[in-house]
């Protein structure tokens, strides 16, 4: 069953743990001075609600991980190089140091496509079969890594009856978030996997501003380092028409990139029929079995080169 969710050679697993505590830092939502909290600008406030599934790869976009990202990651600060880096099997940069032997016949790059780099241009280790990847050992994925896999189960948006919050449910990994329709984060936020999210309407687009992440998750599978506690995610949910939704994302992290932002992340969704969520359970036994069939042979193949 897991092969249904395998892209390239990465062993992604399921998680059910999620935290929703809130933390000590203050930061105003981007553009919060223009907030139009309620009501929704749509004639029907539920226009955006319901289940959405990621579009398939096509000639215009791959719609997977960061494969459609055209902008390079901003240079890392010295602090980030000392505190946020780790080895990653899923980090497959566009440039850097080529992996020795990667040009040999039959060589398999741990993350699939070639050219295969062992290190990116900033010195971040990449394509390491013994490295990390989002959701490993049933850990939470968190956002924005959750958006890496838009076809691994639906994403549902649900507006509550009081109109003061929006719930976001991910079928894959069974994670969920709450977007509070207000213009400021709490003054004290306890760091958590999903952070603290506030939202407002910008015309017909829903803008979600999230801070307060802990430092326990990768940003995406394509980035070889963790979030710092200053990581800041801004999402724009744009309803193209009744059946098509686009999510644009900008990343900010003053500890990792200084005053540079990393925009240009986009995911495409289409509306699907409302149905019960499928059962996605992270099983340690199933994880070990899958690892023995997929990841371990990959390690041996790479180590023998």
Residue 118 belongs to a domain = no
Strands annotated E in the chain: 50-54, 96-98, 117-120, 155-159, 165-170, 175-180, 196-202, 205-211, 232-241, 244-252, 261-271
Residue 247 belongs to a domain = yes
70-103: pLDDT as tens digits = 898 999 999 999 999 887 777 877 788 998 888 8
Residue 99 belongs to a domain = no
Give me the pLDDT at residue 45, please.
52
Residue 108 belongs to a domain = no
Structure tokens at 201: 């309407």
Give me the pLDDT at residue 178, please.
98
Residue 62 belongs to a domain = no
Query: What's the total number of domains in the chain?
Result: 1
242-281: pLDDT as tens digits = 999 999 999 999 999 999 999 999 999 999 988 777 778 7
Instruction: Give every CB contact of residue 121 below 8 A, 6+ residues apart in sequence.
Output: 93, 95, 96
Banded pLDDT at 2 (limits 50, 70, 90): very low
Residue 61 belongs to a domain = no
The yes-or-no verdict on residue 287 having pLDDT over 60 is yes
Residue 285 belongs to a domain = no
Residues 25 and 211: beta-carbon distance below 8 Å: yes
Banded pLDDT at 239 (limits 50, 70, 90): very high
Q: How far apart are CA 251 and CA 269, in angstroms?
A: 20
The yes-or-no verdict on residue 41 having pLDDT over 60 is no
Q: How far apart are CA 232 and CA 142, in angstroms?
A: 13
Cα 108 to chain centroid, rounded: 25
Least confident of 97-101, 145-149, 204-208: 97-101
Residue 293 belongs to a domain = no
Whole-model pTM: value is 0.79
Domain that includes residue 28, residue range = 2-32+43-54+130-278
């Amino acid at each position: 069953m897991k092969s249904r969710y395998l892209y390239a050679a990465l062993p992604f697993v399921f998680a059910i743990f999620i935290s929703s505590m809130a933390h000590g830092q203050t930061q105003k939502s981007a553009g919060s001075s223009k907030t139009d909290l309620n009501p929704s600008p749509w004639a029907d406030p539920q226009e955006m609600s319901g289940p959405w599934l990621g579009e398939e790869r096509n000639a215009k976009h791959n719609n997977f991980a960061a494969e459609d990202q055209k902008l390079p990651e901003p240079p890392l600060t010295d602090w980030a190089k000392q505190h946020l880096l780790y080895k990653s099997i899923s980090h497959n940069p566009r440039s850097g140091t080529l992996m020795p032997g990667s040009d040999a016949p039959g060589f398999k790059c741990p993350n699939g496509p070639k050219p295969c780099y062992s290190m990116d241009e900033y010195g971040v280790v990449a394509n390491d079969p013994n490295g990390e990847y989002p959701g490993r050992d049933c850990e939470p994925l968190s956002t924005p890594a959750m958006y890496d896999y838009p076809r691994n189960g639906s994403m549902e948006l649900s507006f509550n009856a009081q109109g003061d919050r929006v719930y976001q449910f991910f079928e894959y990994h069974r994670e969920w978030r709450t977007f509070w329709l207000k213009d400021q984060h709490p003054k004290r936020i306890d760091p958590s996997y999903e952070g603290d999210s506030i939202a407002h309407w910008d015309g017909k687009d829903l803008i979600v501003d999230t801070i307060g992440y802990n430092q326990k998750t990768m940003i995406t599978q394509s980035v070889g380092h963790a979030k710092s506690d200053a990581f800041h995610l801004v999402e724009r949910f744009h309803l193209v028409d009744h059946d098509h939704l686009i999510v644009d994302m900008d990343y900010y992290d003053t500890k990792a990139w200084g005053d540079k932002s990393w925009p240009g992340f986009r995911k495409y969704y289409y509306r699907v029929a409302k149905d019960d969520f499928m059962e996605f359970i992270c099983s340690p036994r199933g994880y070990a079995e899958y690892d023995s069939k997929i990841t371990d042979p990959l390690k041996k193949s790479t180590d023998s080169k």
